[in-house]
Amino acid sequence: MGTLDGKAAIVSGSGRGIGQAIALKLAAEGASVVVNDLDAEPAQETVAAIESVGGTAVSCVGSVTDAEFGERFVQTAVDNFGGLDIIVNNAGYTWDSVIQKTTDDQWDAILDVHLKAPFRILRAAQPVISEAVKRARTTGVAVYTRKVVNISSLAGTGGNPGQANYSAAKAGVIGLTKTLAKEWGRYNVTVNTVAFGLIRTRLTASSADTGRTIEIAGKTVKVGVNPDVLTAAEQAIPLGRGGTPSDAAGAVYLFCIPESDYVTAQTLVCSGGLTM
């Protein structure tokens, strides 16, 4: 018996890295998971990994920034699993520049993926959750606690040089979280944020490595972190190391379990003790 048996979860950006670790963790605890990635291959790899250990998962491939994606993502859970219990808004990437060199395209792209996309997914989820709660109350069934976990960053809680767009988006996620916690409390939904510090993924690997780019909507975006900055950051972490995707998934999981049913509108910093 898993702590999340019978629950249906959607996790954006779960074909790789932190999102994949979150999907695997939720599935390992019994949740049925809708896996999302921009590309079909990594999404299917996560689905296959879940199914290989007896879990249940389906994929919903596409960009979270597409106007219709939120409805399609939510409906995939409803069609395949009969409802929606856990929402994890994780998808994202960085596109850094100091502010005088940040273009409108850079600003808009990062705000779209980190803030508008979660907004659209949550907006699409509201009618599904509201109807399920009304139906339960009409039939006299107790309304159980559903969970939303939005992903922010230390950049969103304290700012970060070269990341005006990312910091603004991740600060906005915290505001979105606090507002939805107040709006959705009547549905017995908790809405919380996990703010990550340095988590080691392909997006935070050393920029000294060759080929540190990703393709997003036809654009080639440089990723990676200056190796000197990486070294300094790890030296500043009280636990002495950067986090792993598994560490990150564990923090998200804490907000998905019954033991956190009376915790909402909170931001949990998962950084090994690093502060900005």
Domain ranges of the chain: 8-198+242-270
pLDDT in tens, the chain (276 residues): 799 999 999 999 999 999 999 999 999 999 999 999 999 999 999 999 999 999 999 999 999 999 999 999 999 999 999 999 999 999 999 999 999 999 999 999 999 999 999 999 999 999 999 999 999 999 999 999 999 999 999 999 999 999 999 999 999 999 999 999 999 999 999 999 999 999 998 776 655 565 566 677 666 676 666 677 777 888 899 999 999 999 999 999 999 999 999 999 999 999 999 987
DSSP 8-state code for residue 97: B
Strands 213-216 and 219-222: antiparallel
Tell me, what DSSP letter sits at residue 114?
A: I
So which residues are the catalytic ones? 166
| Predicted local confidence at residue 227, as pLDDT | 73
The reported pLDDT for the residue numbered 207 is: 59
Please tell me the pTM assigned to this model: 0.93
Instruction: Give the span between the Cα atoms of 268 and 152, in whole angstroms.
Output: 9
Q: Where are the beta strands (DSSP E) in 83-145?
A: 86-89
What are the residues whose beta carbons fall under 8 Å from the beta carbon of 80, sequence distance 6 or more? 8, 32, 34, 58
Look at the block and give the residue holding tokens 């998200």: 252
Please state which architecture CATH assigns to domain 8-198+242-270: 3-Layer(aba) Sandwich (3.40)
- How far is 209 from 227, CA to CA, in rounded Å? 9
